A and B are shown apart, each in its own frame.
Chain A
């Protein structure tokens, strides 16, 4: 009899532990994120797409602007996945490269700006929770995540130009690189 009782108690304990975890996340994380989301959603709605579109036209010509500045701003102003739509201002050849950079930007900036990719936040939050558990502040980690991301995402975007050229040869196609032809 004791065995069954212990088994049942152990079983319920699993879910009590899970519940405690859930409660600590809901009270510790949700309120701040909701407040941030409200402000950022409003900024996105008020200033969003037009501003970024204007910026995009200036930014396509230069690799640093194209893979570091533009995807950063797009991710901040439009969030995931709409930031990817800004690739439409690029010539065909550069679209995969912009994609490679912009998708990473939707993660690396997520530590400071959770509105960018709220539905995939746990990539950041999962690890950041460990830092919180140690009683440390997560902000230094978030700032470094963003800064390293800026450099690394630029490299990833730029490197895609080389892989794209490689795949072009493999498949025997040539994509347009003409900046003027692109709208």
Chain B
């Protein structure tokens, strides 16, 4: 049995969260990395050396959640960065991403740290509170919130001999609360993902258009996105196995290309009819970076993930061009 040591991980420049203290135990003795299509993140070697954890490549295989002391990801801010914090597994993101994505509410300082390189990793001094404790600490808090939320209606529902008025009240209350929560989630989504992306892309567009770069971009993009052959080529390139996983994170690249193509359509350089095949072409790599996590959500077994990662990349490559052609065939008569 190797002995394990604790480390302290701080946030890097522009990062969020932490500092985390990660203490491996006999049971929690693995670090899984799901980064760059299976490439080892830069900080991994140091973490393994300092802690004695066993590294596991999440793209190749999977390991039971209860054995994970730590997960390293490179999420651009959509999905993965929230999934492991939601499961209360300490998470290191090598990208400088804060509370973002549909699971932003789970990304908290006590479980998540971002923009991490080997510089931010150091041995922890003395016995520090471990990950397991952090788990214990926060869970009652969540539980308590839940009961605090439910208690009034629950007690009403249980204790009283329910009159019609109470029943009506409870039902109405539930509907109103659901909608209110839905509204809160909607605003949250806007603030955590939509607005930041709009701001970032607007700034890019401003610089591109104002500086004259726009014309240079147009001369590259128009031959590529302006006819069906270029679009098929774009789809094939995007879906090359391996490359597809690198293009995936956060769908950021696809979203930027989409915006640039859209700008060219708006200027009249690309026919509006081609918008439909373009939508398919820029997204042939869709979710290739996310396969291990997505299959994990489907409770897939380790060997299914090993097969699935390769299989889905192959099938993306095999069907990508077909999707673009299909969309092209269906685009006749659109905006004619």
Binding site for B on A (CB under 8 A): 10, 13-22, 25-26, 29-30, 33-34, 37-42, 44-46, 79-82, 84-88, 90, 92-93, 95-100, 103-104, 106-108, 111, 118-134, 136, 140-141, 144-145, 147-148, 151-152, 155-156, 159-160, 162-164, 166-168, 170-171, 173, 175
Asked whether A141 and B327 contact (CB < 8 A) given A87-B300, A159-B315, the answer is: no
* Residue pair A119, B202 in contact (C-beta under 8 Å): no
If A37-B182, A38-B182, A136-B335 are given as contacts, then 4 extra A-B residue pairs at C-beta distance below 8 Å, sorted by A number, are A18-B206, A133-B262, A148-B323, A171-B310
B119 contacts A by Cβ under 8 Å: no
**Which residues on A sit within 8 Å (CB–CB) of B198?**
22, 25-26, 29
B157 contacts A by Cβ under 8 Å: no
Asked whether A175 and B189 contact (CB < 8 A) given A39-B182, A99-B298, A122-B201, the answer is: no
Asked whether A19 and B326 contact (CB < 8 A) given A34-B187, A95-B304, A144-B331, the answer is: no
Asked whether A120 and B255 contact (CB < 8 A) given A18-B202, A84-B298, the answer is: yes
* Residue pair B258, A124 in contact (C-beta under 8 Å): yes
**12 A-B residue pairs with CB within 8 Å:** A99-B308, A119-B100, A119-B197, A126-B255, A130-B262, A131-B262, A134-B268, A134-B335, A136-B335, A148-B323, A152-B322, A152-B327
* Residue pair B183, A38 in contact (C-beta under 8 Å): yes
Q: Which residue from A34, A42, A84, A148 sits with its C-beta under 8 Å from B297?
A: A84
Smallest Cβ distance from B224 to chain A, in angstroms?
14
Bound-state Cα–Cα, A93 to B327, Å: 29
Interface set, chain B 317-336, CB cutoff 8 A to A: 318-319, 322-323, 326-327, 330-331, 334-335
B280 contacts A by Cβ under 8 Å: yes
* Residue pair B272, A134 in contact (C-beta under 8 Å): yes
Chain B interface category by residue count? 35 or more
* Residue pair A156, B261 in contact (C-beta under 8 Å): no
Bound-state Cα–Cα, A125 to B198, Å: 10
Smallest Cβ distance from A86 to chain B, in angstroms?
7
Asked whether A141 and B275 contact (CB < 8 A) given A37-B189, A167-B311, the answer is: yes
**Which residues on A sit within 8 Å (CB–CB) of B178?**
42, 45-46
Per-residue 0/1 for B233-271: is the Cβ within 8 Å of any A Cβ (1 yes, 0 no)? Answer: 000000000000000001100111111111111111010
Chain B interface mostly: helix
6 closest Cβ pairs, A-B complex: A18-B206, A87-B298, A130-B265, A133-B266, A126-B258, A96-B308
**Which residues on B sit within 8 Å (CB–CB) of A108?**
279
* Residue pair B203, A96 in contact (C-beta under 8 Å): no
B295 contacts A by Cβ under 8 Å: yes
**Which residues on B sit within 8 Å (CB–CB) of A166?**
311, 314
* Residue pair A118, B189 in contact (C-beta under 8 Å): yes
**Which residues on B sit within 8 Å (CB–CB) of A92?**
300-301, 303-304
Per-residue 0/1 for B165-202: is the Cβ within 8 Å of any A Cβ (1 yes, 0 no)? Answer: 00000000001001101110111011001110111011
**Which residues on B sit within 8 Å (CB–CB) of A86?**
298
Asked whether A163 and B311 contact (CB < 8 A) given A88-B299, A126-B262, A147-B330, the answer is: yes
Bound-state Cα–Cα, A173 to B309, Å: 14
B211 contacts A by Cβ under 8 Å: yes
In chain B, what residue has the closest Cβ to A11?
B210
Bound-state Cα–Cα, A86 to B35, Å: 24
* Residue pair B275, A127 in contact (C-beta under 8 Å): yes
Q: Which residue from A15, A29, A144, A155 sits with its C-beta under 8 Å from B322?
A: A155
**Which residues on B sit within 8 Å (CB–CB) of A147?**
330
